[in-house]
A and B are shown apart, each in its own frame.
Chain A
Amino acid sequence: MSYTLLEIASMIAGYARPVVGPISLGLRAGEILGLGGPNGAGKSTILRAITGRAHVFSGRIVRSDGLTISHQWQRPELPPELALLGRELFSLTGARPGDAPAMMKPLLTMPLRHMSGGQYQLLHTFACMCSPCRLVLMDEPTNNLDGRALDALSALLKKLDPGRAVLLVSHEKAFLEKHCTRIVEVGS
């Protein structure tokens, strides 16, 4: 039987001033919850409120005991001239390079400075998905991904461990509808 990993109750969150809310939602183990809505609705701010990066003005976020979180950022900035190899970045989230999808293997031996923005985004996304964290926050993971990469991401989402959950932000309604067990529209 699935159990609640995260519960957000009447939360208003933002930075210098409120950006989103009040919003309430619950996330159970095994679920992929989609967050949709127009640009600027505050979808990314919800993810950042969960990680503690954004300020919660009112309401509350309740986490299950010992909940671990990985957060794939929207448009992660490709650092210039870093000698790190893909597998070194991949393992920073606790992910094991052996768990990476086959199409990602060439990236694991490539230095970051040789990667394109899309390859780096792919590496970042899969580092979070393959981490042992029980809650994965994904912010527009389909940006810059080609067809093969999207298929690999879809395959990972389809075989999600029942003890884990994903909170998925995307402006691509078709992708949300294909993979999410529920969709919450933000700012509607």
Chain B
Amino acid sequence: MSDWLLFDPMFRIPFLTGLVLTLALSLTGALLRMREEWLAALGLSQIAAVGAIAACPLGLPALTGAFGAAGLATALRTLLPRVDNSHHALLILVGWSGTLIVGSYIDHGATIGESLLRGQLYFTRGAHLAGAATLLALLLSLFPWLSPRLLTARFFPDHHQANRVPTWPYRTVFALLAMAATVLGTVSIGAFPTFAMLFAPSWAGFVLANGWRRSLVVSCAIGLVAYTAAFALAMIVDLPFGPVLVAMLAMVGGLRFLPGISSIIATTKWSQSRE
């Protein structure tokens, strides 16, 4: 591929789909990190990949299979009294092994499994874009309701229970949004790129910004920069998009370790403490 392909109408829908998903995944990732559930993203994306590949021999769309498997995993997580990263690690193991084992039983299974793990953004269509746009619209419209409830539950774990405020509505809504983001990400940009997009922007953003809202904006900006750069680089240098995106996100996430950034953080701390 060459640089002129960047402007080819054929790649507009894939580019826009990835762009919209980047915002949705960066925002969802920030909430998952705040809840210390970021490893759940990798577990769910791996499980979604199993569902997508298992749907093939059943004659079902990959998206349906991905939603079915991720929905089942989400329901099981919700039923457990306490969920930690050990449970999420178990999901990763089941998802990774399941994708490869199920893939070995179906025609072209290895190819499909590989494409689900590393992404197939260039093959996304209008339905993917519509799904991603709907997800982002839901996430943005529900965010003002969802965010304070999740924050309160994180810092004052029994505040809602003590005040007889039901916790299931916001817990369920967040679980469904996280699942939908992970599934749409997995079938569009791949399981690992989806995890990277959920993980890296907020990992850097939470250190580079002071304040909840600012950290969300910075996380989304980091995701957008990494995505746009990865899309252009993959086209220009003719590299597979998924691995380039993951590498780009890893690099952007690693910015937090640079001495220059550390000094900015130190300055920010100093000025904050003087306010």
Contacts and interface: CB of A to CB of B under 8 A. Distances in A.
Interface of A: 48, 50-53, 68-71, 73, 76, 79, 81-85, 88-89, 92-93, 106, 109-111, 113-114, 124, 127-128, 133, 137
A81 B162 contact: no
Interface residues of B, number: 27
Contacts of B155: 76, 79, 89, 92, 124
A84 B211 contact: yes
Contacts of B210: 83, 85, 111
Given A68-B163, A83-B211, 19 more contacts: A51-B158, A51-B161, A53-B158, A53-B161, A69-B162, A69-B163, A70-B156, A71-B162, A73-B156, A76-B155, A83-B206, A83-B207, A83-B215, A92-B148, A92-B156, A110-B272, A111-B210, A114-B269, A128-B156
A88 B211 contact: yes
Interface of B: 34, 36, 148, 151-152, 154-159, 161-163, 205-207, 209-212, 214-215, 269, 272-273, 275
Given A71-B162, A109-B272, A84 B156 contact: no
Contacts of B269: 110-111, 114
Contacts of A81: 206-207
Nearest to A124: B155
B263 to A, nearest CB: 15
A73 B157 contact: yes
26 contacts: A51-B158, A51-B161, A52-B161, A53-B158, A70-B156, A70-B162, A76-B155, A79-B34, A79-B155, A81-B206, A83-B210, A83-B211, A83-B212, A83-B214, A84-B211, A84-B212, A84-B215, A88-B211, A89-B151, A92-B151, A92-B156, A109-B275, A111-B210, A114-B272, A127-B156, A128-B156
